[in-house]
Amino acid sequence: MNEVAKTNRSWTRLDESDSRSFMARVMPINIGAMREASMATLEQLHFRLAGAADAEAIANLHADSWRRHYRGAYSDAFLDGDVFADRLAFWTDRLREPDRRRCTILAEDGSLVGFANTVFDDDPRWGALLDNLHVADGHHRRGIGSRLLALTAEAILERPHRTGLYLWALEQNVDAQAFYRAHGGRCVERAPAAPPGGIASRLTGSPTKLRYVWPAELLEPR
Ligand SMILES: CC(C)(COP(=O)(O)OP(=O)(O)OC[C@H]1O[C@@H](n2cnc3c(N)ncnc32)[C@H](O)[C@@H]1OP(=O)(O)O)[C@@H](O)C(=O)NCCC(=O)NCCS
């Protein structure tokens, strides 16, 4: 609870006029790509940590995003069938109890328009895992993903043991890769994609994924 309140206070700071300088501090590479216009449209957004009551809304956005952007790697049968039930079970379980080893940040604009889920201290070499980052269809290129990424970096900086950040992106997901590269992410390796829920039939063929990393020094304040 204290951690949530503390984090929420610092996020409130991000809604103030210093948000651009904050983002330049935590995402030093290519942050100039942020447009003035997209920053202006962010003023009406609200960011907060997710709780158990948010599971269904997150599952809806997650399932919709997978249907739109993961088709070809994930099977049509899964995307047109079980995907919402799978995501609802996943998020209901994940958000059942507060867990200091993870954080799920929501972006709301009347309703849920994006979320970022991070597992702290996931990998001894690369640090925290940005496990999910999704912005709702119709809200892309407003700067929401950038803000969620910056808030994720801030959450890592608030930890007693600061680490780097990494994620996996499907190789076919070239738009997401352009976003990560625009924020200084570096691709360091390729590996076979894991099927959702560990069920092999949910993949189409043998898709690959790419690891993007931000070493700890890139997240440190300058
Ligand atoms: C990837 C994603 C999270 C980016 O979020 P977003 O809010 O649309 O991104 P932003 O508006 O913050 O983009 C910031 C910059 O990233 C780059 N960028 C973002 N999307 C891009 C795209 N489709 N193609 C090329 N560059 C892109 C641009 O430099 C952009 O700045 P600009 O709009 O001034 O040109 C979002 O598109 C999304 O949810 N995609 C579907 C789900 C997904 O693939 N998630 C990632 C899983 S690994």
CATH number at residue 169: 3.40.630.30
Q: Containing domain of residue 170, as a range?
A: 2-219
pLDDT over 90 percentage in the chain = 76
Residue 174's Cβ-count burial label (10 Å; 0-12, 13-18, 19+) is exposed
- Would the CB of 184 count as within 6 Å of ligand 1? no
Cα(176) to ligand 1 centroid in Å equals 6
Least confident interval from 38-47, 154-163, 205-214:
38-47
What is the per-residue DSSP string for 154-195? HHHHTSSS---EEEEEETT-HHHHHHHHHTT-EEEEEEEPPP
Q: Is residue 59 predicted with pLDDT exceeding 50?
A: yes
- Would the CB of 172 count as within 6 Å of ligand 1? no
Question: Of all protein residues, whose CA lies closest to atom 1 belonging to ligand 1?
Answer: 176
- Would the CB of 38 count as within 6 Å of ligand 1? yes
Phi, psi dihedrals of residue 124, rounded to the nearest 5° = -60, -30
Question: Of all protein residues, whose CA lies closest to atom 24 belonging to ligand 1?
Answer: 175
Q: Is residue 2 predicted with pLDDT exceeding 50?
A: no
26-46 average pLDDT score: 52
Cα(179) to ligand 1 centroid in Å equals 4
User: What's the whole-model pTM score?
Assistant: 0.87
Q: Is residue 45 predicted with pLDDT exceeding 90?
A: yes
- Would the CB of 138 count as within 6 Å of ligand 1? no
- Would the CB of 211 count as within 6 Å of ligand 1? no
- Would the CB of 209 count as within 6 Å of ligand 1? no
- Would the CB of 33 count as within 6 Å of ligand 1? yes
Cα(132) to ligand 1 centroid in Å equals 13
**Tally of domains within the chain:** 1
CB proximity list for 100: less than 8 A, separation 6 or greater: 3
3-state secondary structure of 139: coil
3-state secondary structure of 74: strand
Cα(143) to ligand 1 centroid in Å equals 8
- Would the CB of 185 count as within 6 Å of ligand 1? no
The answer to whether 157 and 26 have CB atoms below 8 angstroms apart is yes
- Would the CB of 176 count as within 6 Å of ligand 1? yes
Report the atom number in ligand 1 closest to the C-alpha of 180: 16
pLDDT tens profile 104-162: 999 999 999 999 999 999 999 999 999 999 999 999 999 999 999 999 999 999 999 98
Q: Is residue 32 predicted with pLDDT exceeding 70?
A: no
